[in-house]
Structure 1
Amino acid sequence: MSYLEKKRNLYYAILKIPSDLREHFGKTKFSKSTGQADPRKARSIALGFVSEWQKQIQAARKLALDADLQMALEMRRDIEAAIESGEDDPGVAYGISDFIDKLRETGQKERAEKFACVVFGKEVVLAEYYEAWVVSIKTTSQRTRIEYSNIGREVLKMFPTVSAITPKAVRAWARMMLDGNGNYDAPLSKSSIEKRFKVARNLWQYLEYHELVDQEANPFRLPRFVSEADKKLRAERLKTKGRAEERLPFEPYELVEIWRNASQSDPQLADLIFLAMYTGCRIEELCRLKVRECTNSLLKVTSSKTKAGYRDIPVHPKLKPLVQRLLRIPVKLNGHSD
């Protein structure tokens, strides 16, 4: 990523501020002159500026936690500290109870319940484990860690507590990203949404490992409507370009479904589909594979549109049982079984 922008004869260091923090900083980007006309020298200076700005962004994200949740967590810690000090009925708990009662009396029932659940209940607040989760991310790339931590903040904003993570809420989050509303200024692409779900699953796995959630199926499964919307968008783009008849690639789950259906009605076709899935070969290339030129670990393509297509393909572990069977009992496809 380039952090440089040339203005007149000098280079400026530039870093865009994430959309959810622009209000906090009161601007859309950081910008500062490097005082250099030489791009190499400017780049070295810019990296120092960018490093400092990224620290400011991380600090701002820590402050982005819901104020009520932050206060409730502090209250919970105060009570726990009082109990640990040996007080059977810590006085601080009574003061907090009075505060919650006043919220109810003034018609702020929703806020009161939020405080009560966090302070006196067993509500798991994700922000309490955010920093430890970031440290636990298995990566040697600082850029990946920063990317995960930033997306993690998005997850925390949408799901401040474990109880907020419901199938309905997860679908609403996906819809929000797809439509570009709520916490998002513009619609996100399918790949961007998938990346956010991947990070959310990673966070959930951390909570599972530390027994903070039930050992159930990970709730962060990408809703089907995201893929369907992406297909529709690509089809519309093709139509706009005058290529409406061009075929769109199948989704992985669709290929598996096609293969399963073929397995029930046409085993030979199912074998071809399975081979194609794990080799990327054209059907005519697969039909012309020769037993004498293939082994359990290598498929040799010698019939392709061009000589450039001649190649050796390592056999994927999941293909080995099928390849071994076909080598034992060759199938005559397109007139070739030798």
Structure 2
Amino acid sequence: MNVPQYLQKRRQGYYAVLEVPRALRGKMGKARFIQSLQTDSLKVAEVRKHELIGRWKAEIQAAQGNSPNLDRVVLVRQKMAAKVKPDPVDIAMILTPQTDHDMSDLETNRKDLSAVLHGKKFPLKHHLAAYEKTLSHIEAKSKDMRLSDIRRFIKKFKYAEDATNRDVKEWVEVNLIAEDGLSVATCRRIMSNLRQYWKYLTDRKDLNVLEPFKYVVPDRTVSRKQQVATRRKDIEPEDYRTLLQAAQEKGDTQLAYLIQLGAYTGARVEELCSIKLDKVLPDRLLVEDAKSPAGWRTIPLHTDILDLVATMKKESKDEYL
């Protein structure tokens, strides 16, 4: 059986292993990192190895002298939190600025760096890579969306202590809704994803700050009257002909095709644009990439567009209709 990367199987169970670059072995006093994961289960070992490997890689990066100051401080803080008594020389080597830029950054951010070192501030970005490893069980599309939501949040809030309930509420109302134009439903999804990351940090990374996401999304951003006024209007046959003629006169063949497909199938634009050729049958389309499984369906093709769909399939230059 092939053992996954960074794991070694011994009689006592699985061990995490990471080779130290040859040029750094003298400086670090070892050729490799190795530690028992206290399990004979491959599945459990795969989960447990990530924290160790992440910490070891940070030590190697620090020894190379190219880590930012915050990365260095987080590394020492992790050692302290793990109840590993760091050697004073090791700490000095990790924390010492290596470049003029590092020294300037240290002078500018000394107060924040000191707070991180003493556990008074918790950087939110440093565990995102480890968290991503735990998301192998969810669909790729959902995983990318969750990570994107988290990156949006930590771009605004560098430290957990900065993300007070009041400030997160203001971020949602001003930045997400007013400026970025996001819907209330989208904001709720973002908060749900952020709660998952916050729970991970609390359970696995010693975050000790209360979750700040309660009641930060407003119930409604517009009145019922405004909702009715802005509700999408039905398109009349004459509107369809006007749109189609405009696309044809503009010479935009793809848009003209899309308008006709939309009119005859009633499918969403995103659904039509994501239909692959192998889902296009002679008399129907198979929609299997809808917003949710409930939207997966078979769409019969009207006889008026059978030739159109056949032409689109023939002219396609990629795997999509």
TM-score between both structures, scaled by the size of structure 2: 0.41
